[in-house]
Amino acid sequence: MEDNVLLSVRNLCKWFYLRKGLFKSMGYVRAVDGVSFDLQRGEAIAIVGESGCGKTTLGKTILRLYKPTSGSIIFEGRDVTNLEGKELMWYRRETGYVQQDPFGALPPFMTVKKILEEPLIIH
């Protein structure tokens, strides 16, 4: 791993298993499925997509608020995928994310063209 890579995510998956009662499994929802990227030191990234596509689940899984179903999360050269206890608390103190402002979010029912036209029409 290069020295300038702060966060490396490889084939990250978070699936939620659906159950009916205590013992009957009804399948699963693939909320995050096979996400990979590297974040360089000094970089910022934005995770964008339609409502319900898994952006928040991806963020919470990277922060280890959810345990990944599979894949790896490497932070500052250290595998944090399976941290627990005090080590997990350390990781959570070192990381964080900013959720979108729901009032400033792009409406999923509008095309990009309409979104770009709207301020031009107003002014």
pLDDT tens digits, one per residue of 57-92: 999 999 999 999 999 999 999 999 999 999 999 999
End-to-end CA distance of the chain: 49
Copy the structure tokens of residue 66: 């959810």
* Cα 26 from Cα 18, distance rounded (Å): 5
- What is the reported pLDDT for 117? 80
Collect all residues with Cβ–Cβ distance below 8 Å to 43 and sequence separation of at least 6. 6
State the pTM of this model. Answer: 0.74
DSSP 8-state assignment for residue 39: E
**Number of compact structural domains in the chain:** 1
**H/E run at residue 88:** helix 85-94
Residues 18, 77 contacting (CB under 8 angstroms): no
3-state secondary structure of 120: helix
Quick one: pLDDT at residue 13? 98
75: domain CATH number is 3.40.50.300
Question: What's the domain range around 10?
Answer: 5-122
pLDDT tens, per residue, the chain with 123 residues? 457 999 999 999 999 988 877 777 788 999 999 999 999 999 988 888 888 899 999 999 999 999 999 999 999 999 999 999 999 999 998 987 766 666 666 677 778 788 788 777 776
d(CA 17, CA 5): 33
